[in-house]
Amino acid sequence: MKLLFQIFGVMLMLSGGLWALQGLGIVMWPAESFMLAERSWALYGTITFLIGAALFWFGSRRKR
């Protein structure tokens, strides 16, 4: 279970980071994405990243 929390946390951090960077207009890939330069996606990405970081932290702190 510990490993599952860590893996899911990393996946959320990676996707949230991409969403935030796309929303800020820093990453303009893929070109047809609806998230590009949309500030709301920067917020959604940041929230997703923080949830992922919390899951990763929780998974690394759990005892066996």
Q: Which of 59, 56, 42, 58 is nearest to 11 (CA)?
A: 56
The structure tokens 């980071």 sit at 17
Predicted confidence at residue 14, as pLDDT, reads: 98
Range of the domain at 36: 2-61
pTM over 0.85: yes
Q: What is the pLDDT of residues 1-41, one digit of tens each?
A: 899 999 999 999 999 999 999 999 999 999 999 999 999 99
Calpha distance 3→45 (Å, rounded): 23
Number of domains the chain contains:
1
